[in-house]
Amino acid sequence: MKKLQILMFGAPGAGKGTQAKILSSERHIPHISTGDILREAVSKKTELGLKAKAIMEAGELVPDEIMGGIIRDVLFSDKCKPGYILDGFPRTINQANILDGILKEIDEGYPIVIELDADDELIINRLSSRRVCSECGYIVNLNSLEDPTTCPNCGAKNSFIKRKDDEEDVIKNRLNVYHQTTKPVLDFYRNKAKIISIDAALPVEEVAKKITVELN
């Protein structure tokens, strides 16, 4: 069976993490979230993890080269032998070139790019309606709750809080960054990799079904 390499692509709030988790469960391949592997490298005190920790503690962004090194370590690990779903990297053309070098080093072809396509209005509506339960940390969307006062996970009443990065002005800024620095990455892969584009406005289950059909 051919190794399945997938790169999840889309704006913040398009549903990349959700679809990556579904695919990971279905295909039995790891979901490589950049946030998760960065935290793991820091907690394991790897050489790159310690460098990243010092940079983050200074309030700075982890440089592409260090992030690329952490990605390289994971892609070279045994858990990625059957395949992987990469979520959150590359976010810039420079990161795409770094990943290009890693894949050439591993001697593997380009991953399949799954683009979750959503217009800005949908993203703003989706993220500004997102809340976190202060009791259990469960994340919900108020638009999809029958009872917007009760956490469906732990049953807590009136426990929902809005995170700062879900404020509308912050979302708009994140979208601007996405359009300026991340969206061009799609063009980087345009003539190199297979790109599957799915309408992210569809229900979660429908998006997952369409991805499955395209991959089969």
Q: Are 48 and 66 in contact (CB under 8 A)?
A: yes
Per the residue annotation, which of 79, 104, 163, 190 is the catalytic one? 163
**27 assigned to active site:** no
**192 assigned to active site:** no
Rounded CA separation 200/115 (Å): 9
From the number of C-beta atoms within 10 Å of its C-beta (0-12, 13-18, 19+), residue 118 rates as: buried
Per the residue annotation, which of 27, 91, 183, 209 is the catalytic one? 91
**163 assigned to active site:** yes
Per the residue annotation, which of 51, 126, 130, 131 is the catalytic one? 130
Per the residue annotation, which of 16, 51, 53, 131 is the catalytic one? 16
Per the residue annotation, which of 51, 53, 72, 174 is the catalytic one? 174
Rounded CA separation 15/11 (Å): 8
Catalytic residues: 16, 91, 130, 163, 174
